[in-house]
Amino acid sequence: MNDNPLIPLFGYFAMLSLFAVGGANAAIPEMHRIAVDVMHWMSDRQFADSFAIAQISPGPNIIIVTLIGYHVAGLAGAAVATVAMCGPTCVFAFLVARTWDHFKEARWRIAIQAGLVPVSLGLIGASAFVLARSADHNIYAALITAVTAIVAFATRINPLWLFAAGGILGLSGWL
Amino acid sequence: MSDSVAPPRSVAARPALLELFRAFVVVSVSGFGGALPWARRMIVDQRGWMTAEEFNEAFALSQFLPGPNVVNFSVVFGSRFGGAAGAAVALAGLMGPPLIIVTVLAFLYAQFGDIEMLGRILAGITSAAVGLLIAVVAKMAAPLFRKRWDWAPLIAIAAFVGVAIMQWPLPLVFVVLAPISIGLAWIKR
């Protein structure tokens, strides 16, 4: 391992940032594929833990890349991963924001917006699937997932309560 | 000023850069489980910087753009009110505090991640967080599968199968499916 890990870290996340339509949640499977399966930066378990920490941290969930970067290469890794994930898309957003308003009614714009919705839906669904496979190793864990899904779908409860309940049940040693 | 020709915007004055920064700091530290609802509360309800309609419009754009939605939103919003400086300031406000917090957490995890108790707590939180994600998917899917817009569910399922089951790289799945989906949206309208 004499290769500098910062280079693939930057390359993967910079590319990923341009395809992650649907945000952090849509990019989870690809992050998992790269970090766990391709680059062997972390174990399945560590990836699932990083996801949990990103969820309970304030701010955008994309912060999971900071955790992955830190795991790979400390502070430098955290900085590189975060800049790579946010940089290209921020520049893109800045450029598009200046012109977008002019095309409010344009047919191509409406088609792009409508066409991307089902793609990002499928990607976020895939995230849930990949994470469930990493996290739910027994029936109790799967039950926590199922109950949380139903409660979150049916009510407007603050997610922090659901995380707290999951954490307490986890601590109780059922999982 | 160009305000005379522009369509009527929200009534409140443009926020100063410092105010913009502070507002996004508040959004970022209160935004547990996604910062969007907090951004809306602050921008539309509290400060009146945008009307609800303007907010939806700017957010639709942020969602359509690749990358983290709220991050995009801070850039779109900041640039509208303060050009490049505004975008940079809003982004810094949004990302600064969480970056510091999460770096501390990453350090703690590196030190204590092997402790079994911590592992059990995180495992429980992950299971709950996955449930939350499933609820998000269900909420997004409901209108899509209800509408008589038959190709959209097929695209969603194809994206799911490609990434989750076949485990193909995301860029590959995206480059194949997005043009098909946009093309279908174009034709079917």
| Total CB pairs under 8 A between chain A and B | 374
Is B129 part of any domain?
Answer: no
Q: Is A61 exposed, middle or buried (0-12, 13-18, 19+ CB in 10 A)?
A: buried
Q: Do residues B6 and B70 both lie within one domain?
A: yes
- SS percent in chain A: helix, strand, coil, step 5: 80, 0, 20
User: Does residue A111 sit in the same domain as residue A145?
Assistant: no
Q: Which range (A117-131, B20-34, B40-54, B122-136) has the least confidence?
A: B20-34
Residue B43 pLDDT level (bands cut at 50, 70, 90): confident
Nearest by CB to A48, from B66, B106, B126: name it.
Answer: B126
Q: Are residues B43 and B78 in the same domain?
A: yes
Boundary residue ending a domain (B112, B128, B150) = B112
Q: Do A70 and A102 share a domain, yes or no?
A: yes
Range of the structural domain that residue B148 is part of = 136-188
Return the top range by mean pLDDT from A62-71, A157-166, B21-30: A62-71
Average pLDDT over residues B47-73: 83
- DSSP secondary structure of A107-140: HHHHHHHHHHHHHHHHHHHHHHHHHHHHH--SHH
Same domain, B77 and B165: no
pLDDT in tens, A124-172: 899 899 889 888 888 999 999 999 999 989 988 888 899 899 999 999 8
In whole angstroms, what is the distance from residue A35 CA to residue A38 CA? 6
For A6-29, what is the mean pLDDT? 89
Asked if residues B120 and A175 have their Cβ atoms less than 8 Å apart, the reply is yes
Asked whether the beta carbons of A29 and A130 are under 8 A apart, the reply is: yes
Instruction: Enumerate residues 26 to 65 of chain A having a beta carbon within 8 A of any beta carbon in chain B.
Output: 26-27, 29-30, 33, 37, 45-46, 48-63
Q: Using an 8 Å CB-CB cutoff, list chain B residues near A94.
A: 75-76, 79, 84, 87
- Model confidence pLDDT, tens digit, residues B63-86: 778 888 889 989 999 998 889 999
Q: How far is CA B39 from CA A94, A138, B44, in A?
A: 18, 37, 8
Same domain, B95 and B154: no
Please report which confidence band the pLDDT of residue B3 belongs to, taking 50, 70 and 90 as the band edges: very low
Is A68 a domain residue? yes
Q: What is the ipTM of this complex?
A: 0.85
Residue range of the domain that includes A163: 137-175
A98 & A157 share domain: no
- A51 plus A84 within the same structural domain: yes
